[in-house]
Each structure stands twice: as structure tokens, then as C-alpha cells.
Amino acid sequence: MTFQNVTVAGSGVLGSQIAFQTAYKEFKVSVYDINEEAITNAKERMLKLKERYKQDLGASEEALESAYNRISFYTDLAEAVNDADLVIEAVPELVDIKTKFYQQLAQVAPEKTIFATNSSTLLPSQFAVATGRPEKFLALHFANEIWVNNTAEIMKHPNTDPAVFEAIIDFARAIGMVALPLQKEQPGYILNSLLVPFLEAAQMLLVNGVADPETIDKTWMIATGSPKGPFAILDVVGINTAYNIAYAKGQAGNEQSKKVADYLKSEYIDKGKLGTGTNEGFYSYPNPKYLEHDFLAD
């Protein structure tokens, strides 16, 4: 299987990163989102990514401009996937939204197209029927800031064609990732099986009034030597993503998760504090307090 044309559906924080990294590695990329406002925001994110690529990778302006020019933007799904070899879905982490998206995608994508979900915590088998092509569907999960945190977890479901699984492993390597194949479905893959409980524990400490974000982060950073605490990580992940995960668990009956979701919505999302993408979340950017030289002092 040869991939030339890749569509990224969903142009949020991680969707924009996936699209730009794929284009940087010389694939032709189409970006789809639901309206022009979302597309405008995606373009702004990618312009910021160019600066990070220069800073972190030493990328040249010429290479970055070429990468950006390989990206096309669409608000019409049929146009976005017209000749797609692969569609990477990065829409919000809600079952209903993803199911509806795959039902629509199945109607307009070419027969050749492979579908991959970048879902953080949901299983590909939850959406396999909705895709209309379960044998050509699997999970391809990236970490935030993928140009430096270059993991790609590839997770099949029981009906994924083994050849598709191997093809996506090869594709992940082709876009500069370390390919990490999972042989069995696991909610949260490897990374989020470790990370999500950690971030949830921090959020519970906050909403239950145990300590504020800075104190919690400081504790973790001093005790483990980590460069970031959980709330700094949440700002990078995006507070919308944390909210969607907590909301889904709250809807399923977890009262503590519902408490977290309500708190994130009222104190952050409703105030436009979504993390690094909006320059404000638990910290203010571009100079967050946790990077100050005396942050870890008494």
C-alpha cells in the first residue's frame, strides 16, 4: 500500500500538528473541518508551528514553506477526501460526534481509503461498523508536540486487515515517528493508560480543594525531576480534551468525573482558557510561571 494523499479530519491542536508533520515529510495533505472559523484557527496554529520547527528541529524557512504549501483546506468532507489514501480522524473525543463523522465519511470516501482514528481513550471497535469498512480501520495515536514527542501508537481491532496494520506502521515511520504497534485493543493505548490516570488524579486533587495547580505541579516536578507537572501537561494537551474525557465518564455515572467536567467548563472553557493554544489555561503563555527560575523554590 502506497500513501500519497492524506486527509486529516479535525484541525484542533493535535489535528493541526498531524497535518503539518505529515506535510513536512513531503506528503500531500488535505485538512477538513466543519467551518471557516475552524480552518482559520488551524492556519494560525500552523504558522506558530513553523516557529517551533525552527526552534526545536532547526528546520529551514524553505522547508517549512514547502510543507505549508502542500496543505489544502476544506469545509466540504467529500472534497477533502476525494483522492485520499488515508484519513486520520482527530475530531472531538465524544462517541456521538465520532460515530456521526464516520457514517458521513463512509458515504463519500473512495473505496481505497484507509481510516485511522487518533482517539485518545476510545477503542476502534466502537466505530468499526460505522466506518463501513472495518477491515480498513484502526487507531493511529500521536502524542502532543509530535515533532519532538514522536510516538505513534498503532492499535488494531479484531477485524483489521493485518496488511493495513503493517501499512500504517510503515506510514508512521515515514512521517518521522517511532512506530509502536499494539497487538490488542486497550483503552488509552500505552501512553494514555499511564498518562490519563495521572492527569485525572491531579484534577481530583484540585476540584476537591486539596491544593492549587501550582502546588500540585511543584510537588511532582521536585519529587520526580519532571520538567512539567500535570497542569502544565494539561495546558499542552488542551483543556477541551480533558473536559471531553471527564464529561464522557461523568455521563457514564462517575460523579467525581462529572465534578471535574463542570469545574473545567465553568472556570476555564467558558472563559476561553483552553491551554497553550489560547495562551492561557492553568498558566499564562508564552512565559508560564512553572518555567520561572524560582518556581521550585520555597
> What cell does 152 get?
505513534
Can you give the C-alpha Rg of the chain in angstroms? 19
Strands 71-74, 114-117: pairing is unpaired
How far apart are alpha carbons 9 and 124 in whole angstroms? 16
Q: What does the pLDDT read at residue 192?
A: 85
Find all residues with CB under 8 Å of 81, minimum gap 6, and list them: 7, 30, 32, 87, 105, 108, 109, 110, 113
All three cell numbers of 150: 514522536
**What pLDDT is recorded for position 277?**
84
CB atoms within 10 A of CB 247: 19
31 in Cβ contact with 74 (< 8 Å): yes
Question: Which grid coordinates belong to 295?
Answer: 518556581
pLDDT of amino acid 188? 86
**What sections of 109-155 are H helices per DSSP?**
128-131
With a cut of 70, which residues of the chain have pLDDT below it?
none
SS3 117: strand
- Tallying the residues shown for the chain, one arrives at 298
Which pTM does this prediction carry? 0.81
